[in-house]
Structure 1
Amino acid sequence: MSEVVRPLYEHPAFQEASGPALRPGGAELTARGLDLCGFGPGDRVTDLGCGPGATLGLLTGRGLRALGLDASAEFLARARAEQPGTPLLRARVEALPLADGGLDGLCCECVLSTLADPGPVLAEMARTLRSGGRLLLSDLYVRRPGAAGGIAGCAAGARPLEDMEGLLRRHGLRPLHVEDHSRALSELAGRLIFQHGSLDALRNLTGGGGCGRRDPRDLGYCLIIAAKEAS
């Protein structure tokens, strides 16, 4: 029987380096994205892949009606303890248990890059957002020409930035604002190296379930704000 590979973000060593947000840029980058989205008090915003609830705290702190979804029962238990009273659902991002056009906004951070095919998730985003609703997307992307393909682990679905923008457009989600935040990824990698001597050392702890054995310069990190096109 083959051993189940543990995702890097589930390992305590990674969580120590990344903080409660479990991604490059942390809460500061999410706050930047929320500012760009321009949500108002009472807006309905769902966090896809909410993890232990860091973004949910930002949403409720701004007076938004937040909902968290995650496939991990462990993460949802932590989110419930950290954000009591915030609605949480266990669900897969490819099949959202939400009504058509019922959301003012969606947050999706470090989720799409873990998926070989993001199409079903993007279709669900477009279905559940109202016309003009905003998507806050932050994720890994492939930054060096010819580097796409063969990436393992949490970056298996990473693709060039122009491909990401094209996918959004094909699903009725128009990119409004795109920023490169690769420095945040480098800083996180630096903290991991400082703690463990090398990224390979951390990959060994996770059974090889990191972001792939490749030149880290192949990957960058981006923030994209998109809007649901009018039907």
Structure 2
Amino acid sequence: MDYTHSAVRWLLGATAHPGGEALTRHLLGRLRLPTGSLVADVACGDGATLDLFARAGLLAVGVDVEPRAVAKAGRLAAAVLGDAHHLPLASGVYDAVVCECAVSTFADPAQALAEMVRVLRPGGQLAMTDVVLRRDLAPAEVTAAVDRLTSARTMPDYAALVTAAGLRVVRTEDRSVDALALTRRLARRLTAVGARGTAATARACARAVESGALSYALLVAEKPAARLR
């Protein structure tokens, strides 16, 4: 999906993920980064989060695999073309890495997380948000719709991936309220343009959020500090 396309932006909003800028601001508050901190935004899209970070006094660098997204993001902050599985970034220098609603879309999430850990300095932080799916509870229609876009996992599965990459999980937060707002908005807007079948799927996803089968979550983890010799 081209997240820079005007129709997609109209459907999903400026930041193209549940919670929008408000959730990104909340995420930033959890990191408590001092002014001048170096932050990488992996899968930065067209740079909405990079712009927010720059306005907060951070030194932000974005990475995205889509050339058009990088071109747009580069108007707001430093942005480079690259694959999350092989980040074109220096090792061990970033104070934080942020990845919003993207780990579940990567072909190899474990490899992508290993790369994020590589570029973090000792004591640096990873903050990610993503779709959470309880396949044992979700209706087949919802599972099929989610699987067309992501390989969503349960929260414990995400935490296990992050831990296996060498980080310590310090916080997780359920953000179902953000997922519910987005699925309801999608249903309304799709109905308005006559896309009844897709709107019905969006309403089914909203019901799945209400039942706890589908949700959204925030996870913050920390890279162990270097040991003193």
- TM-score normalised by the chain length of structure 1: 0.84
Say whether the 8 Å CA contact 2:85–2:111 is kept in structure 1: yes
Q: Which residue among 23, 40, 50 is the counterpart of 2:44?
A: 50
Letter in 2 for 1:104: D
Question: Distance in 1 between the 2:23 and 2:165 partners?
Answer: 25
Q: Which residue among 59, 78, 91 is the counterpart of 1:87?
A: 78
Question: Distance in 1 between the 2:132 and 2:193 partners?
Answer: 19
1:64-213 → structure 2 map (5 Å cutoff): 64-81=58-75, 83=76, 86-143=77-134, 145=136, 147=138, 151-155=146-150, 157-197=151-191, 201=195
Q: Which residue among 57, 68, 81 is the counterpart of 1:63?
A: 57
Per the alignment, residue 38 of structure 1 pairs with 32
CA separation of 1:27 and 1:8: change in aligned 2, threshold 3 A: same
Give the count of matched residue pairs. Answer: 215
CA separation of 1:62 and 1:213: change in aligned 2, threshold 3 A: closer
How many percent identity over aligned positions? 36
Q: Displacement of 1:9 after TM fit?
A: 3.6
CA-to-aligned-CA distance 1:133-166 (integer Å, 9 cap, x gap): 01110110113536597652222x2111101001
Tell me the C-alpha RMSD between the 2 structures.
2.7
Q: Displacement of 1:129 after TM fit?
A: 0.4
Say whether the 8 Å CA contact 1:20–1:52 is kept in structure 2: no
Once the two structures are overlaid, the 10-residue window that deviates more, 101-110 or 116-125, is: 116-125
CA-to-aligned-CA distance 1:111-139 (integer Å, 9 cap, x gap): 11112430100100111101110111011
Once the two structures are overlaid, the 10-residue window that deviates more, 41-50 or 195-204, is: 195-204
Q: Which runs of 5+ in 2 are unaligned?
A: none
Letter in 2 for 1:107: V
Question: Distance in 2 between the 1:230 and 1:168 partners?
Answer: 16
Say whether the 8 Å CA contact 1:134–1:227 is kept in structure 2: yes
Q: Which runs of 5+ in 1 are unaligned?
A: 1-6, 206-211
